[in-house]
Structure 1
Amino acid sequence: MKDSNFLKENNAKFLWHPMGHPGQLRTNTPTIITGASGVRIRDIDGHETIDAVGGLWNVNLGYSCDPVKQAITGQLDALPYYSAFAGTSNNAAIELSYELQDWFGSDGLTRAFFTSGGSDSVETALRLARQFHKVRGETGRTKFLSLKKGYHGTHMGGASVNGNNRFRTAYEPLLPGCYHIPAPYTYRNPFNESDPAKLAELCAQALEDEIAFQGAETIAAFIMEPVLGAGGIIPPHESFMPKVRDICSRNGILLIADEVITGFGRTGDWSGSRHWGVKPDMMCLAKAITNGYFPFGAVMITNEVAETFEKDETGTANIGHGYTYSAHPVGAAAALACLSETKRLNVSENAAARGREMFSGVQQLMKKHALVGDVRGGHGLMTAVELVEDRDTRKPAGKPIASAVAKTAYENGVMVRVSGNNILLSPPLIIGSDDVQHIISGLDAGLSAAA
C-alpha cells in the first residue's frame, strides 16, 4: 500500500465517490479508513471510532468475522468464478439456494435469483413482476406503486420507484408508470396526522385511491421497505404493512418487500416483513447476506409466483435477465458462512435488546437538545435523529448543522451517517451495551457542539 502522504495527496483527485459532489470532495476530502476490527474502524491517522453506521447497514457481524473470511479464501482456491447463466452452475450457489429456502420457507419464499447487490435485487424484482403478469396473460400490468421517502437503490428502475427527489431529479426522465403514495411518517405527512394508527389508515386509503385511479389491471407491483431506511428510518404502525398486503391481494398486485436493509436481523426479527406478520410475493436481499465482505444479493420468490413461471409452456417465462456475477461462487460461499454465523450468534435477539437501549438513550437526548425535532426507531438497531432549526415550525436543519454534529461525534469516537437533516444510527448487530452508551455520548457531544 502507498504511504499516507501519497493517499492524502491524491484523496478524491481521481476517484469520484457515490452520494457526493465531486468538486466539493476535492476540497473537503473524505475520511480515509484503513483498518477495522470488531465494531470499530480506524482512519489513516490512527483515530479509532465505533462504527455506528455498520459499514452501510451491512456489517452486521462486525469486521472480524473469520468464518466468512475463510469461506472466501477457500472458495477462491477451489473455484474463483464461473458463469451461472443457463447451462452451468456451482456447488456454493446450489447450497445457498437450499439454505435460503430453509430460512424463508415459512414465509412461502422458496426460490432464489442471485444478484450482485441491493440495487440489482430491486431491478430484478421489478422486471420479474412485469414478466409474471405477462406469463399469466395480463400484459397491461406494467405500473409500479411505492412510498414517498422510500429508497430502492440507484438503478433506473430503483430510482424510478424511489420516493426521495435527491436520487431522482438529476436523472429524470425516469421509468414511466411509477407512482408514489404518502409514507406513514408521523412527523411530516400531508394529512397533519400524528396518530400512527390513524395515519396508517389514511396512507392505506391513499393506496386504494391510487389503484382505483390508475386501474388495478394496469399495476404490476407495490414495493416497500418494511421499515423505511435511508429516507429517515420511518417505522410504520404495525397495522400498515398488513393493510398493504390485503389491498395488493384483493387487486392482483404483487407485493415486493425491499429487505436489503431490514433482512437478517436488523429489525430484531429475521426479516422486516416477518416483524409485521406479512408474507410478500418477492423479497429483495443483499447487504448483510455476506456481512459486506463480498458484493452479493438475492431475490426470494414465493411458490405461487414461481409455479407460474415453471409451468409455462409458451416460452414467455424464459428469464432474459441476469448479471455476469449472478450466483458468483465466492459470494455464495461468503453468504453461506455469514448466514451460519448469523444464526449461531442469534444476532436478531441482540439487535432487539441493544436497539431498545439505543432508542431510549437517543430519546433522552431529545429532552436535552432543542436541535432534535424527532427521534425514530425502536425496532432493532435502526434509529434516526431528525434535526430542526425550530421545533415549533419543524423547519429542517441545514446540512452544515448535521455535518457539524457528525464531525464532533467522530472526534469523540463515533462514526454516524448524515442523510439530509437526519443522523442515522445502524451499528453492527453484535454491538454491546457499553458501545451503545459510547454512541449516545458521542452523539450528545456532537449535538452540544452544533448548538
Structure 2
Amino acid sequence: MRQDVNSLKEHNARDVWHPMAHPADSIANPPDIIVEGQGVRIRDVDGHETVDAVGGLWNVNLGYSCDPVKQAITDQLNRLPFYSIFRGTSNDAVIELGAMLRDFFAPDGMARAFYTSGGSDSVEVSLRLARQYHKLRGEAGRTKFLSLKKGYHGTHTLGASVNGNANFRTQYEPLMPGCFHIPAPYTYRNPFNEADPARLAQLCLSALEDEIAFQGAETIAAFIMEPVLGAGGVIPPHESFMPGVRDICDRHGILLIADEVITAFGRTGSWSGSRHWGVRPDMMCTAKAITNGYFPFGAVMIGDRIAEVFEADTSGKGSIGSGYTYSGHPVGAAAAIACLRETERLQVKDNAAARGAQLWEGLQAIKDRHAVVGDVRGGHGLMCAVELVSDRDTRKPIDKKTIGRVHRVAYESGAMLRVSGNNIILSPPLVVTEADVAAILSALDAGLATAG
C-alpha cells in the first residue's frame, strides 16, 4: 500500500475534491477508501469486503479480475504506450478496434467510430457532429437540441445543457442556449399524473411533437436520449416510446442520438439499449464498459447516412473540428479490443438478463416488506433503482440522513450501493452470480430495516 492506513484516513477528502459531492460533506463524512477489487467484490482499507452493486460506475461489466484486458494493457504499454491519432498518424490498435466496433454495432446501423476519452466527450462530440451534419446539407438553421427531463448526458457544457436534472445544471447556468426538455416517461412522477406506462409514453411523445411545432422543426438538430435513463433514477420507458421518438424525428428531419454510455455492451440484456427497443439511432455515444473501466476511453458510433454526408463533402467543411490529445489512445484501444472479445465470449448480455430478473423479483419482495420503498424500477437487465419516500401516499422523498443510514448499513452488511437523490441505484457487474445477487438483496434489506 502506498501509505499506511492511518495516513490515508488522515488525508481522506482533505486534499482531493470528489465529483458530485459537497467538499464540506466529504470532509465531515470521509468516503470509504477502496484498495482492492477481485471478481465482483471490493475491499476497503480496513479489510471489509462487499459486493460492488454499483459495478464501479456502471462500467466494470466484467468485474475486477478480467485478465485478458489487464494483459492487453500491459502488452500495449510495452510496445507503444502512446501515440496520438490527432493529425496525420494512426496506430494498429485503433484500426483493429474500429472494424470490431463496426461489426458489433452493425445491427444498430452504425458504420464509423470517432474515439474520445470518455462518456462526456462522446456526448459533446455527437452534438457537435449533429450541427455540422445539418450545415453540410445546407440547413445551417438546425442548431437546437431536445432531450428528456431526468436525462443525464455528462458534465461538459453542451452535455450539461441537455441534461434534464437541475442538480447538474443550476450552479453552472447560464448554459448553452437552444436546449429544450420534454417530460420523461417516468410513471412514478410526471406532470400528467399518469401511471399507465403506455399512455404516459403517448403523452410524452405528444409533448415532443408540441415542442417541435413550437420551436420549428427547421431549427432543431437532434434529440438525444438514454434508451433507459440511468443516473436520473433508472427510468425505463414503455416499449413504444423510443420507436415513437424515432418516427417523430424521421418525419421532421431531426437526428436521433442514443446516449449508450451506460446501456451499450449488454447491461440491458441486449447488446445495446437501442437494440433492446428495436431502434436504429443516427449516432450512439459509448464509453464506460468499452474498456471495463480499466482505461479512460470512449467512441461515438456514427450511422451510415451521417457518414455518407461527411465523406461525400468536397467543400472542406466536413473536416472534423473535434479531437483530444488522447483520442484513439493505443492502450485504451488495446483494452477495448480485449474487453469486446471477452464480452462476446462470455455473452454477458444473457447473464445480465437472467440475474437482472432475479434482482427485479427480489426488489419487488423488498418493496412489500418496507413501507419506505415508494417505487422499484428496472426489469431490463442489470440496472434497477429503489426510490425511497417518507410517506407512500404523498410520495415525499426521504431525507438525506435516513438514506445515508440505509447506505451505510447496507455497506456494512456486504453490498456497496449508490445513492442518487432519494434513489438507491443498483448496477452490478454483468458477471454476478445468483449468490452475488442474493447478497446484494440481503444487504439492501438490512439497510432498509433501519429506515423505520
If the length of structure 1 is used for normalisation, what is the TM-score?
1.00
Aligned counterparts, 1:34-53, within 5 A: 34-53=35-54
Aligned partner letter, 1:406: H
Distance 2:360 2:338 in 1: 30
Aligned partner letter, 1:215: G
Q: Do residues 397 (structure 1) and 398 (structure 2) align?
A: yes
Structure-1 residue corresponding to 2:32? 31
Structure-1 residue corresponding to 2:174? 173
Kindly provide the CA deviation profile for residues 138-159 of structure 1, in whole angstroms up to 9, marking residues without a partner as x. Answer: 0000000000000000000110
Distance 1:243 1:170 in 2: 33
Structure-2 residue corresponding to 1:273? 274
Structure-2 residue corresponding to 1:127? 128
Kindly provide the CA deviation profile for residues 208-267 of structure 1, in whole angstroms up to 9, marking residues without a partner as x. Answer: 000000000000000000000000000000000000000001100000000000000000
Distance 2:449 2:86 in 1: 55
Structure-2 residue corresponding to 1:201? 202
Structure-2 residue corresponding to 1:250? 251
Structure-1 residue corresponding to 2:4? 3
Distance 2:67 2:85 in 1: 27
Aligned partner letter, 2:164: G
The answer as to whether partners of 2:84 and 2:326 remain within 8 angstroms in 1 is: yes
Deviation at 1:398, TM superposition (A): 1.6
Structure-2 residue corresponding to 1:154? 155
The answer as to whether partners of 2:125 and 2:322 remain within 8 angstroms in 1 is: yes
Structure-1 residue corresponding to 2:381? 380
Kindly provide the CA deviation profile for residues 349-392 of structure 1, in whole angstroms up to 9, marking residues without a partner as x. Answer: 00000000001001101101000000000000011000001000
Task: Classify the secondary structure of the residue corresponding to 1:190.
Answer: coil
Structure-1 residue corresponding to 2:95? 94
Distance 1:66 1:200 in 2: 43
Distance 1:5 1:411 in 2: 20
Task: Classify the secondary structure of the residue corresponding to 2:296.
Answer: coil
Structure-2 residue corresponding to 1:236? 237
Distance 1:245 1:86 in 2: 35
Deviation at 1:6, TM superposition (A): 1.0
Distance 1:146 1:388 in 2: 27
Structure-2 residue corresponding to 1:76? 77
Distance 1:428 1:124 in 2: 28
Question: What is the CA RMSD across the aligned residues, in angstroms?
Answer: 0.5
Deviation at 1:400, TM superposition (A): 1.5
Distance 1:243 1:320 in 2: 32
Distance 1:164 1:71 in 2: 38
Aligned partner letter, 1:195: D
Kindly provide the CA deviation profile for residues 26-73 of structure 1, in whole angstroms up to 9, marking residues without a partner as x. Answer: 121111000010000000000000000000000000000000000000
Distance 1:246 1:425 in 2: 32
Deviation at 1:402, TM superposition (A): 1.4
Task: Classify the secondary structure of the residue corresponding to 1:402.
Answer: helix
Deviation at 1:86, TM superposition (A): 2.9
Kindly provide the CA deviation profile for residues 253-296 of structure 1, in whole angstroms up to 9, marking residues without a partner as x. Answer: 00000000000000000000000000000000000000000000
Aligned partner letter, 1:100: L
The number of residue pairs the alignment matches comes to 451
Task: Classify the secondary structure of the residue corresponding to 1:300.
Answer: strand
Deviation at 1:105, TM superposition (A): 1.2
Distance 1:287 1:399 in 2: 28
Distance 1:383 1:320 in 2: 38
Task: Classify the secondary structure of the residue corresponding to 1:82.
Answer: coil
Task: Classify the secondary structure of the residue corresponding to 2:180.
Answer: strand
Task: Classify the secondary structure of the residue corresponding to 1:60.
Answer: coil
Structure-1 residue corresponding to 2:298? 297
The answer as to whether partners of 2:108 and 2:274 remain within 8 angstroms in 1 is: no
Distance 2:109 2:87 in 1: 25
Distance 2:87 2:221 in 1: 26
Structure-1 residue corresponding to 2:211? 210
Distance 2:225 2:240 in 1: 14
Aligned counterparts, 1:320-331, within 5 A: 320-331=321-332
Aligned partner letter, 2:82: Y
Distance 2:97 2:239 in 1: 31
Task: Classify the secondary structure of the residue corresponding to 1:99.
Answer: helix
Distance 2:6 2:448 in 1: 32
Task: Classify the secondary structure of the residue corresponding to 2:239.
Answer: coil
Distance 2:99 2:400 in 1: 45
Deviation at 1:106, TM superposition (A): 2.0
Task: Classify the secondary structure of the residue corresponding to 1:158.
Answer: helix
Task: Classify the secondary structure of the residue corresponding to 1:338.
Answer: helix
Kindly provide the CA deviation profile for residues 388-423 of structure 1, in whole angstroms up to 9, marking residues without a partner as x. Answer: 010001111122221111100001011000000000
Distance 2:25 2:292 in 1: 31
Aligned partner letter, 1:243: G
Distance 1:86 1:256 in 2: 27
Distance 1:306 1:398 in 2: 49
Structure-2 residue corresponding to 1:438? 439
Task: Classify the secondary structure of the residue corresponding to 1:41.
Answer: strand
Distance 1:369 1:24 in 2: 28
Kindly provide the CA deviation profile for residues 278-325 of structure 1, in whole angstroms up to 9, marking residues without a partner as x. Answer: 000000000000000000000000111001000001111111111110
Structure-2 residue corresponding to 1:104? 105
If the length of structure 2 is used for normalisation, what is the TM-score?
0.99
Q: Do residues 371 (structure 1) and 365 (structure 2) align?
A: no
Aligned partner letter, 2:156: H
Structure-1 residue corresponding to 2:13? 12
